[in-house]
Amino acid sequence: MDVLSDAITAMRTGRPHAGHHRRAAPWGVRFPAGDGVGFHAVLDGEAWLHPPGDTAPVRMTAGDLVLLPHGTSYGIADAPGRTLRPAVLDPDGRLRPQPPQAGPGTAASSSMLCGAYLLNQARPHPLLTELPPQLHLTTGDGRHPRLRTVTDLLADELTDRQPGTDAVLPALLDTLLLHVLRAWYAEQADAERPGSGWAHALRDRTISTALHAIHDDPAHPWTVEELGARAGLSRAAFARRFTTLVGRPPLAYLTWWRMTTAGRLLRESDAPLRTIAQRTGYLSEFAFAKAFKREYGVSPGRYRSAVHLEGRTGRRTALPARTGG
């Protein structure tokens, strides 16, 4: 898998969901903080995003899409000064349709796609942590045509359900998220030259080559010299460039990715610890358990038991918060 796809897969903790909502003014919704990464796409009419914090409301028109990547509280409404009602969510996190609010307003209406992705905010990939509080993209005037195509396909499936829609929707939602991130990182890399960060790391041929090598085979005993050779740079030049763009030295990122991969395998599979150790580059189960506890603050066995209990009960188990360095 490529680095962007890998990062999303490693963070995913549940199925994404979305709905098509038509609203007549006045209306306003406040979404609570949580593990969800919310998105809203305006199909017709307009809406106003009330961003996290005290930032001024942002106008959105047909063709605009906004992604809220950090699980913070935010609002969306038909007007910048509208009162925001707490969102009414179903048990799976879906937004329930709401009637218009009482009070002065206009006959203006809007048609929107609203949805969320469930990602592990306790251990986010650095590719996502550097994102701003909201990503506001527009597909008007021919911009980001692939993103516009995916948005239209998603809207069609949600408004005209056909046999197979339940299988199509998760794939379309994953595709939408990846195209949003692609579009955002492309805009940032085009606007800021030279620069640092993942917007540049993903488009830097030398560093992206090394990142792909790490992600393709995290069990390999990589050295800085070998990764530098893959990238076509000397050891010192590669280490400097990688650290500048990625935000941590090559072997520190390798360890972080191995432990992130191990956490996902513990959550999603029943593979023995010995197998997970081998798949993440550790020669013994003991060495793996020691490295895992240093990173997560708990043993692999306790981590697996906690996430499986959470899956059965729906209650989050308190574990020490470690993100590595």
3-state secondary structure 264-304: HHHHHCCCCHHHHHHHCCCCCHHHHHHHHHHHHCCCHHHHH
pLDDT band for position 103 (50/70/90)?
low
pLDDT band for position 234 (50/70/90)?
very high
**pLDDT at position 246:** 92
Across the chain, what does the average pLDDT equal? 86
- Say if pTM beats, i.e. exceeds, 0.85: no
Of the candidates 203, 189, 199, 204, the one whose C-alpha atom is nearest the C-alpha of residue 241 is 204
Instruction: Report yes or no: 307 and 269 within 8 Å, Cβ to Cβ.
Output: no
Q: Which residue has the higher pLDDT, 221 or 11?
A: 221
Per-residue pLDDT reduced to its tens digit, 256-303: 999 999 999 998 899 999 999 999 999 999 999 999 999 999 999 999
**pLDDT at position 325:** 40
pLDDT band for position 149 (50/70/90)?
very high
Helices marked H in the chain? 3-11, 126-129, 145-159, 165-191, 198-201, 205-216, 224-231, 235-246, 250-268, 273-279, 285-296, 300-313
Per-residue pLDDT reduced to its tens digit, 205-220: 999 999 999 999 999 9
Q: Phi/psi at 231 (nearest 5 deg)?
A: -80, -10
The alpha carbon dihedral of 291, 292, 293, 297 has a sign of positive
Question: Cα 68 to chain center, whole Å?
Answer: 9
Instruction: Report yes or no: 27 and 101 within 8 Å, Cβ to Cβ.
Output: yes
Q: Which of 19-28, 251-260, 277-286 comes out lowest in average pLDDT?
A: 19-28
Q: Per-residue pLDDT averaged across 308-325, rounded?
A: 53
**pLDDT at position 324:** 44
Of the candidates 223, 183, 221, the one whose C-alpha atom is nearest the C-alpha of residue 202 is 183
3-state secondary structure of 83: coil
Q: Per-residue pLDDT averaged across 239-258, rounded?
A: 95
Q: What is the dihedral of CA 273, 275, 280, 283, to 10 degrees?
A: 90
For the chain, how far is it from start to end, CA to CA, in angstroms?
A: 24
Going from the C-alpha of 172 to that of each of 15, 91, 151, 152, 168, the distances in angstroms are: 12, 22, 8, 10, 6
Architecture per CATH, domain 3-191, reads as Sandwich (2.60)
Amino acid (one-letter) located at 275: T
Q: Which of 14-23, 99-108, 112-121, 239-248 comes out lowest in average pLDDT?
A: 99-108
pLDDT band for position 66 (50/70/90)?
very high
Contact partners, residue 124, CB within 8 Å, separation at least 6: 11
Per-residue pLDDT reduced to its tens digit, 122-148: 778 888 888 899 999 999 888 899 999
**pLDDT at position 96:** 65
Q: Per-residue pLDDT averaged across 15-22, rounded?
A: 89
- Residue 193 DSSP label: S
**106: pLDDT strictly greater than 60:** no
Q: Taking phi first (over 0 means left), then psi (-120 to 50 degrees means alpha), and beta for anything else, what does residue 65 get? A: beta
pLDDT band for position 319 (50/70/90)?
low
**93: pLDDT strictly greater than 70:** no
Instruction: Report yes or no: 27 and 82 within 8 Å, Cβ to Cβ.
Output: yes
Measured CA to CA, the distance from residue 210 to residue 252 in angstroms comes to 13
User: Where in the chain are all domains bearing CATH 2.60.120.280?
Assistant: 3-191
Contact partners, residue 227, CB within 8 Å, separation at least 6: 210, 213, 214, 238, 242, 250
User: Where in the chain are all domains bearing CATH 1.10.10.60?
Assistant: 205-313
CATH class as words, domain 205-313 = mainly alpha
Per-residue pLDDT reduced to its tens digit, 150-159: 999 999 999 9
How many residues does this entry show for the chain?
A: 325
